[in-house]
Amino acid sequence: MAQTMSRMRPKAVDSTRRIKAGKEITLLYGMEFFKGLEPPELGWFFNDMELRTCPAGTIFFAPEDTPEQLYMLRQGRVDLYRLTPSGKRLVTRQILPGSVFGIMGLLGQTIEGDFAEAIEDCSVCVITREDVLALLKRRTDVALHILEIVGNRLCLLEERLVEAVYSNVRARLAHFLLINVDSASGVLTNFTHEEIGNIIGAVRQTVTETLSLMRKQGLILTRPKEIRIIDRHGLEEIVQAKS
């Protein structure tokens, strides 16, 4: 059952396992967000960065919050989502290890309507707003890169909106499988039917029925929390047809 907004206030982050980040600064090196920065410079700006562990269910921010921290996911999985008036969860973005979230809050914007929740036990690097702003003032190239990242994310949201309006559930599901499956094994793991539905904008029963049809058509094989693509070309044809 979907939880109402009044019941979705943030749980406390597991502060008993906070770690000062002197030796953890190398975690930032190579991240897209900090492209062009070397470890010594990262250490100078983010000497007080912390590494925290958070249990599944932790909510990092909720509607109307203005986050004062930037989060970089090291391990686990985080969903950014909104709740419809009926209480259904609609995932707007899924955060995977190596990704950053909370950018809009650092730019002084409230996260209107958005929740950020740990779907699995997580390890996150946490940087204060003041440290990030100090970096942006000193390195304009990083500021421009962040604007590029934000712009790309807005484009992806627009594409999802168009997909939701003009594509049926079968096409949306096929597209989800194609872009999220492991490229080497052809297998998608650790997603429940409800989680997939939250991402593509469909109810769990419809996702289950559509996957069952795809399995009967020889497009996929299914096991609990595992979907293997058998006919990639067939799924691509479904996406292209959008009917």
pLDDT at 200: 86
| pLDDT score of 12 | 44
Per-residue pLDDT of the chain (243 residues; tens, 9 = 90+): 333 333 334 444 444 344 444 556 666 666 777 777 777 777 777 777 788 899 999 999 888 776 678 888 989 999 989 887 778 888 888 888 888 888 776 665 555 568 899 999 999 988 888 888 888 888 888 778 777 877 777 777 767 666 665 678 999 999 899 988 988 899 998 888 988 888 888 888 999 999 999 999 999 999 888 999 999 999 999 988 854
Predicted pLDDT at 167:
76
Neighbouring CB atoms inside 10 A of 67's CB total: 21
Cα 220 to Cα 200: distance, rounded to the nearest angstrom = 18
Structure-block tokens of residue 179: 């872009």
C-beta of residue 39 within 8 angstroms of C-beta of residue 24: no
Give the burial class of 221: count Cβ atoms within 10 A of its Cβ; 0-12 exposed, 13-18 middle, 19 or more buried: middle
Q: Do domains 5-164 and 167-241 have the same CATH topology?
A: no
Q: What is residue 220's predicted lDDT score, i.e. its pLDDT?
A: 94
- How confident is the model at residue 107, as a pLDDT? 63
Query: CB of 170 within 8 A of CB of 210?
Result: yes
Structure tokens belonging to residue 181: 């499956």
Q: Encoding tokens for residue 94? A: 């899924």
The CATH topology of domain 5-164 is Jelly Rolls (2.60.120)
Domain boundaries, given as residue ranges, for the chain? 5-164, 167-241
In this structure, which long-range contacts are made by residues 212-216, counting pairs with CB atoms below 8 Å and at least 24 apart in sequence? 213/170, 214/170, 214/173, 214/174
Distance CA 222, CA 230 (A): 10
- 167-241 folds as Arc Repressor Mutant, subunit A (1.10.10)
